[in-house]
Amino acid sequence: PTTVAASRIFDGQSRGEEGEENLLSFERFPYIAMSKTYTTSNQTADSAGTMSAMMTGVKTKSAVISVTDAAAYKDCASSIAAKAMTVGELSELAGMATGVVTTARLTHATPAAVYSHSPDRDWESDGDLTEEAKQNGCPDIASQLIDFPYGDGLEVAMGGGRSNFMKAEEHDPEYPERSGRRRDGRDLVQEWLSKFSNAAYVWNASDFNAIDPKKTSHLLGLFEQSHMQFEADREHDAAGEPSLADMTTKAIDILSQNKNGYFLMVEAGRIDHAHHAGNAARALRDTQALSQAVAAARSHTNEADTLIIVTADHGHTLAFQ
């Protein structure tokens, strides 16, 4: 609530208005409610446990991804029988299209809760797995996105986190001095392209802009090694990054080709990161970008057959008394 109030004023003032009378796009929606997305292990919850609650309907521990409270943190063996079915999985089982868009790493907690299960949110690449996890067969989060076993897999996945999909010996296309993080020899980007017909992969703005939704069945976009740029810094990115609104509309254009409908999760993940850093300016700019993405989604959909929910997975530190 404090971030929304401050961002509403910031958004209005950025156009030369007083700000108080302004409304963000989603504040014009007909209904508002409060939800409690607590976790079972910590009073101060994290994105892993709270988003898992939203995606599965099950309250669980902090730092775990879409597993029930029966799973122990960092314990692979205890999590295998504790997987909680996600909205993403249910959507694919129903024959719908499924998409995930974020400005954080695609393997970060909030997007990961849509398509993966893990007793540790930090198992983003195979190099992050413990020996116990390897012995008991728990896969890393990035590989679960590619190996998603339901329906015809995710149709859209866009965000950051490129290094978790690249081999350790592979140099990054944007930062040649850096390399991938995978130790298992898997090139997950190539696997994505080989797995689906009419599949595409993009890592910069020009390639993203060139994508024709009508000719693309599955789109993977990895625009940074780690998280994408803050909105305030996006224009300075050498390779170029699409805005959250751009990614949202492209995702809808692809997903809406499915006659059975679709489920799309869009995260303005860097609001959280700016708050962690005590950086109100970047948090408010990214909330403004979220408002623009919601407006884009609303203009690209029909209220008669589309439900749009806007929420945080948890509150944050901004003090606005």
CA 192 to chain centre: 18
Core vs surface per residue 279-295: b (16+ CB within 10 A) or e: bbebbbbbbbbbbbbbb
Q: Is 77 exposed, middle or buried (0-12, 13-18, 19+ CB in 10 A)?
A: middle
In the set 7, 25, 47, 125, the catalytic residue is: 47
Torsion angle of C-alpha atoms 33, 39, 45, 48, degrees rounded to 10:
-100
Within 8 A by CB and 6+ apart from 119, the residues are 64, 65, 67, 71, 72, 73, 74, 75, 76, 78, 79, 138
47 is catalytic: yes
Separation between Cα atoms, residue 60 and residue 119, nearest integer Å:
10
What is the token pair recorded at 278? Answer: 């005590």
103: three-class secondary structure by DSSP: strand
Measured CA to CA, the distance from residue 177 to residue 175 in angstroms comes to 5
Q: Which amino acid is at 106?
A: L
Label residues 246-259 b or e (16+ Cβ within 10 Å = b).
bbbbbbbbbbbebe
Q: Which sign, positive or negative, has the C-alpha torsion 97, 115, 237, 16?
A: positive
Rounded CA gap, 252 and 263, in Å?
Answer: 9
Within 8 A by CB and 6+ apart from 15, the residues are none
Closest by CA to 93, choosing from 146, 152, 148, 151, is: 151
Residues with catalytic function: 47
